Amino acid sequence: MKVVIIGGVAGGATAAARLRRLNEQAEITVFERSGYISYANCGLPYYIGGVIEDPAALTLQTPESFFARFRVNMRVRHEVTALHPERKTVSVRNLETGEEFEEPYDKLLLSPGAKPTQPRLPGVGLEKLFTLRTVEDTFRIKDYIDAHHPKSAVLAGGGFIGLELAENLRELGMEVTIVQRPKQLMNPFDPDMAAFLHAEVRSHGVQLALGQTVESFEERDGGVDVLLKDRAPLHADMVVLAIGVTPDTALAKEAGLELGIKGSILVNDRMETDLPDIYAVGDAVQVKHAVTGQDVLLSLAGPANKQGRIAADNILGGDSRYLGSQGSSVLKVFGLTAAVTGVNETNARKAGLDPDAVVLSPMSHAGYYPSGKLMTMKVVFEKGTYRLLGAQIVGYEGVDKRIDVLATAIHAGLTAIQLKDLDLAYAPPYSSAKDPVNMAGFMIENLAKGVVRQFRLEDVEALPRDGSVTLLDARTPQEYAGGHIEDFRNVPVDELRDRLDEIEPGKPVYVICQSGLRSYIACRILAGHGYETYNFSGGFRFYDAVTHDRRLIESATACGMDGK
């Protein structure tokens, strides 16, 4: 059997290695138009910033090492220019010699990946305008910085690449501005959770121009002007476009393969296209979201690797299935770790689901053990069924392991309430006896059983201020004096039983504290005395962070630049 693979990196290289492990006799050829067949795509910004010093460290395999171990014919600097499904060949051009030839196949695997989205705007293509997707892109940016020592950069886009690059350019001492049309960074997060990311990048001197539309680019004074709609232009020594990626599927389209979202390749759960003996994997394919069941594009290395393995199994007569993409990811943002899995609350609503969420601020490990740090968790579930839909965590230590537990719970079909039953490892340096994941389960169980009712940040503004309800802040007087929500009166939880005569009977009581724990206890005290109570989800710390961020964004939208 002869297998031809178009494209290396995660999907193609994984498939090639799996094919060889399963079949020693198969003839396997990979055509890769770049000079690199397997590289650490996610590490590229860290080479630019000097965190990764050796460029060879980015290359996971070379054509020579891959051939030595797997006897796979890796043809780099070879571009496939056409597919011919009717005669089972592909047209190939050697980019170094110009030679053109046709290569036959028995099975064909497409792993072309995705290319940086290039907006059709005046000025795209300027010498000081860069994209970052490949090793070659990385070297181009690194060489430019080393040669010209730019002092400032504008990054168009605030996703994974934009944030990682912002951090690394700041570490080089550059002034950095992120501009994008959405009013938040990192769309996999809900806007309230993104507020913590905004605060972190601002604290490290990154300017945010959120809710701004880029209209064109112009060279001026040795740099680039980024022209914005109805705003003064941003000027920088260099600009990097990081507004997302688009499936690189021109070959598939010309060959008549069925296409989906943004021209992506349609495949079934065996990674088969609609044409016989042609498979496709990676960033170029449309997949099902594992939670919503909707068609999505998810450009992540983990799914691409799994798809490459599945395609290889099936090429050799197996029956492996891809169960869908859950979107689990983790990101370093200066000192923070931010992670997400499943679907956020915003996208759950767009998908027609009826979501609810709990927000909590647990410590990374036992509070009495030194150096514990707060994390903010948002766990999203479906009302009524309590099906676990997704989670977002922003914090420091322990974020990655909690998101992985939650990702596993979603995959296993656990309900949000069943999180309380998970038997998770505990020792004071690593966790608490009640792990943050268990705590989320306890909170959701309390909601399900009616032990507590909650109100959310979006409910605060609509709360009556006419005396028909009681608004109560259960923190200490010192905490209250440091900032509170208007019209919330202060009665510390430890004084509440002795001051019940100050809480008018017959009126609903809405209670807040710093994190949600003391206000929950206050709600239980009041409920024990016949009051109807509601606990604020997330606490004042969460409320203050999100509302402060919203004020900054609205101010920036009005004047064109982020405030501090």
Active-site residues: which are they?
42
Question: 15, 281 in Cβ contact below 8 A?
Answer: yes
Q: Which distant-in-sequence residues (6+ apart) come within 8 Å of 43 by Cβ?
A: 52, 57, 58
Q: How many CB atoms lie within 10 A of CB 526?
A: 21
Question: 238, 223 in Cβ contact below 8 A?
Answer: yes
Q: How many CB atoms lie within 10 A of CB 408?
A: 14
| Spatial separation of the C-alpha atoms in residues 544 and 167, rounded to whole Å | 25
Burial (CB count within 10 angstroms: exposed 0-12, middle 13-18, buried 19+), residue 301: middle
Instruction: Work out whether strand 59-61 and strand 38-39 pair parallel, antiparallel, or are unpaired.
Output: antiparallel
Angstrom distances, CA of residue 297 to CA of 134, 287, 305: 19, 6, 15
H/E stretch holding 361 reads none
| Spatial separation of the C-alpha atoms in residues 117 and 242, rounded to whole Å | 8
| Spatial separation of the C-alpha atoms in residues 84 and 102, rounded to whole Å | 9
Among 548, 392, 532, 376, which residue's Cα sits nearest to residue 454?
A: 532
| Spatial separation of the C-alpha atoms in residues 495 and 478, rounded to whole Å | 14
Question: 162, 178 in Cβ contact below 8 A?
Answer: yes
Question: 493, 511 in Cβ contact below 8 A?
Answer: no
| Spatial separation of the C-alpha atoms in residues 173 and 170, rounded to whole Å | 5
Burial 208-243 (b: 16+ CB within 10 A, else e): bbbbbebbebeeeeebbbbbbeebebbbbbbbbbbb
Q: How many CB atoms lie within 10 A of CB 501?
A: 7
| Spatial separation of the C-alpha atoms in residues 359 and 343, rounded to whole Å | 15
First-to-final CA distance of the chain: 62
Burial 337-362 (b: 16+ CB within 10 A, else e): bbbbbbbbbbbbeeeebebbbbbbbb
